């Protein structure tokens, strides 16, 4: 797989029925190793090891209901009170991060009302902090540490 703009980690990769699989420390199982999953696993390890997010407060493939349809958030981080805190959307490294990607995560946020939104393709990462009082958001220079 392609090197990313994220710290490396000792990925557990195996093959099952002819498909490459990677171990997901959040779901505690092997999942299909797609380019998007490669980004997800690197980003999760970055959050846990570098930004000190408790892995117990991270969830992958979180199902939400939006306008009568079922959607899945790639990763949601929660507060210690189990309130949604951050939504992270991953794309393959070959996908350019456009405003359409932010529109997708913003729609998910209509349901969850989190403090931070992040999109990453493994090469670029964008994080914004929501301000619900002013109905605005601010792009941040760095991903916030868990506090």
pTM given for the model: 0.94
CB atoms within 10 A of CB 73: 23
Encode pLDDT of 55-85 as tens digits: 999 999 999 998 899 999 999 999 999 999 9
pLDDT > 80? residue 1:
no
Residue range 13-140 forms a domain whose CATH class is alpha beta
Query: Can you spell out the DSSP letters for 91-131?
Result: --TTS---HHHHHHHHHHHHHH--SEEEEE-SS-EEEEEEE
**pLDDT band, very low/low/confident/very high, at 135 (cuts 50, 70, 90):** confident
* HSE-up of residue 33 (Cα within 13 Å, Cβ side): 17
* HSE-up of residue 86 (Cα within 13 Å, Cβ side): 24
| pLDDT (average), residues 132-147 | 92
Mean pLDDT of the chain: 94
* pLDDT in the model for residue 73: 94
What are the boundaries of each domain within the chain?
13-140
């Amino acid at each position: 797989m392609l090197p990313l703009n994220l710290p490396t980690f000792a990925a557990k990769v195996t093959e099952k029925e002819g498909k490459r699989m990677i171990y997901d420390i959040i779901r505690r199982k092997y999942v299909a190793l797609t380019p998007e999953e490669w980004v997800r696993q690197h980003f999760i390890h970055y959050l846990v090891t570098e930004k000190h997010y408790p892995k117990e407060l991270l969830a992958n493939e979180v199902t939400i209901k939006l306008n009568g349809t079922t959607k899945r958030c790639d990763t949601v981080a929660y507060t210690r009170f189990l309130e949604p805190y951050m939504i992270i959307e991953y794309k393959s490294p070959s996908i350019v991060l456009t405003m359409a990607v932010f529109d997708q995560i913003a729609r998910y946020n209509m349901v969850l009302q989190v403090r931070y939104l992040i999109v990453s393709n493994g090469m670029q990462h964008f994080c914004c902090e929501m301000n619900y009082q002013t109905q605005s958001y601010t792009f941040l220079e760095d991903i916030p540490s868990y506090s």
